Structure 1
């Protein structure tokens, strides 16, 4: 390969990298990449995603760069005659070993992450999530209370009689309140049809199936409000099953639990009085 050919190959590859970076900036503005999330597992998944993404980018740039250079410098108008050969043992070994090494280097961390993702042991709080048409129920198994969580978007917004709110179709009357920095175990099921519980910031989506219990877990590292949706078509009200998770500090969570227990105890006593 002559000096001019090397410069041309470099120019082609550099141009491809430049175009990719330009498209990457546009993608960032459109927020089309995987969300990093606010849990250790979601961040690990994001890091794996980016690792595999850049491996694929590197392979793509190398392969298409060589293809572009070969097509340009061996075009018919230059009178180039194709080489005639049937095998090259060295090349065959290389294009077998290199992909194998790349796949192993990706498979090992991905498998380790999947094992950790499915390990819900040593949890500090258990939440039972039950899907209904078209709302969710959350039971705090360790604290002995629970409640329904339903869409709270005003009907006038849905029927276009008033302007849409900032969290249109992503707001509920009773959010799921969780403490930060605690391993929370979710046991997820459904009462009628198949649903799916998904909050992108938590880094997982789990099916809610009648008669079955699926597990998931999360450690939320930052206080805040995180929103999600049912992601399994479950009937005409499927689009009206939002999920809102409110993460609080441990002190705030303990106060909230106490207030919930007091309110439900009061409701129970009131019902008993009316019955008598």
Structure 2
């Protein structure tokens, strides 16, 4: 059951916070929390507001006493300094234990109990979860999987390079827009599993109150229950390399019926993509699809014109690997060849293995494009069926 307000006095603190914030600040949450749309986010906001009131009262009381003492007992007013060295005996213990007891009460009762409740609720990922979403961080994009539905896709930032380079005016959702949004049903508890294939990333959506690291070799978890339909934006919150700032998260929350329609549509798209592996593609088709796939998956490292950023990201223009042989005469994979590098990546570098994230058609198109762009002009191509056979 969703608790609209876990503590009665939470309504007072939340109301006080909203009263102090201006309408503009609430709209873009420059100075305040974004509007919470999950139980975790609401708990976080309530606790934050309570803590702010408590520490503000403490600050005002202590600071007022300090200022009063300095003004009242200043030398210029003729006050003579005392000669005692401090309380002794039981009186000394009184001045030690009473402030300690006050702070203990504040920390454990007024602050500790509400915070404990919130932490326990944040970690309760398994209880009555309606579905699972697996999130995998990649440099520099996200892969999403819906194990219950068999859906899997890559989400990449879609802000045009022209806006990033200052050649065009910035859009409304500059750097916070993607080609494939995460779609989740409203009112369902979603268990979110997180991991990474390379470095530590952090999946963060402010309005969800969720910010959890995705760590290579580990499977971490959190959960969300979105209560309001809408589009919610976030980003990677861990310094993860060159394009850390270009790793947005976009979640679209929809009613359950609309979510079911999206699942059916996504399955149809995936079936069509799988069917593309079994037909023969023309070179023009591969080049057109390869250009789009390269710009989405490869240009961040190897640059739009294939010039790279040596030594970390080698140039593809004139590369001996890219202009080398495609496959062996028997149609087998040649170690350290162009196909092998795109297919399996290279250990110890930022070059990831794309066989796990891209379809046969995407891989064939990107490889064909790289061999015939940037002045390479090899004139050859590889079919999706050949990629499929290599799996």
Asked whether the equivalents of residues 27 and 33 of structure 1 are also in contact (C-alpha less than 8 Å), the reply is: no
* In 2: Cα distance, 1:183 partner to 1:156 partner: 39
Structure 2 segments unaligned to the other structure (5+ residues): 1-16, 281-384, 387-391
Aligned equivalents of 1:25 and 1:146: distance in 2? Answer: 41
**CA 1:94–1:233 in 2, change beyond 3 Å: closer, same or farther?**
same
Aligned partner of 2:132 in structure 1 is: 126
Matched, 1:57 2:56: yes
Shift of 1:86: 1.6
Question: What are the residue-to-residue correspondences of 1:130-141 with 2, within 5 Å?
Answer: 130-141=136-147
Equivalent residue runs for 1:98-247 within 5 Å: 98-105=102-109, 106-121=111-126, 122-247=128-253
Q: Alpha-carbon deviation of 1:118?
A: 0.7
CA deviations on 1:65-92 (whole Å, 9 max, x unpaired) are 1111111121112211234352134433
Alignment of 1:3-22 (within 5 A): none
Distance 2:154 2:264 in 1: 18
- Aligned with 1:161: secondary structure? coil
**Larger relative CO (CA 8 A, sep 6+): 1 or 2?**
1
Q: 2:98 aligns with which of 94, 98, 103?
A: 94
Please tell me whether the aligned partners of residues 21 and 32 of structure 2 are also in contact (alpha carbons under 8 angstroms).
Answer: no
Which residue number in structure 2 is paired with residue 11 of structure 1?
Answer: none
- Compared with structure 1, are the counterparts of its residues 52 and 28 closer, same or farther at alpha carbon in structure 2 (3 Å cutoff)? farther
RMSD: 2.1
Cα distance in 2 for residues equivalent to 1:144 and 1:109:
39
Residue deviations 1:151-172 (CA, integer Å, cap 9, x gap): 1011111111111111111100
Distance 2:154 2:81 in 1: 72
- Mapping of 1:36-55 within 5 angstroms? 36-55=35-54
Name 2:258's counterpart in structure 1. Answer: 252
Bigger strand fraction: 1
Report how many residues are paired.
Answer: 254
Q: Cα distance, 1:236 vs. partner?
A: 1.1
State the shift of 1:33 in Å: 2.9
Judging changes above 3 Å, is the alpha-carbon distance between structure 1 residues 167 and 28 closer, same or farther for their aligned structure 2 residues?
A: closer
Do the aligned residues in 2 keep the contact of 1:36 with 1:46 (CA within 8 Å)? no
Partner Cα distance (2:276, 2:21) in 1: 59
Does structure 2 conserve the Cα–Cα contact (< 8 Å) formed by 1:124 and 1:182? yes
Contact 1:138-1:176 within 8 A present in 2 as well: yes
State how far apart, in whole Å, the 2-side matches of 1:100 and 1:178 are: 42
Give 1:208 deviation, angstroms.
Answer: 1.1
Q: Offset of 1:59 from its aligned partner?
A: 0.4
Cα deviations across residues 10-36 of structure 1 (Å, max 9, x unaligned)? xxxxxxxxxxx9xx6589847323334
* TM superposition score normalised by structure 2: 0.62
Structure-1-length-normalised TM-score: 0.86
Looking at CA atoms only, which structure, 1 or 2, has the larger radius of gyration?
A: 2
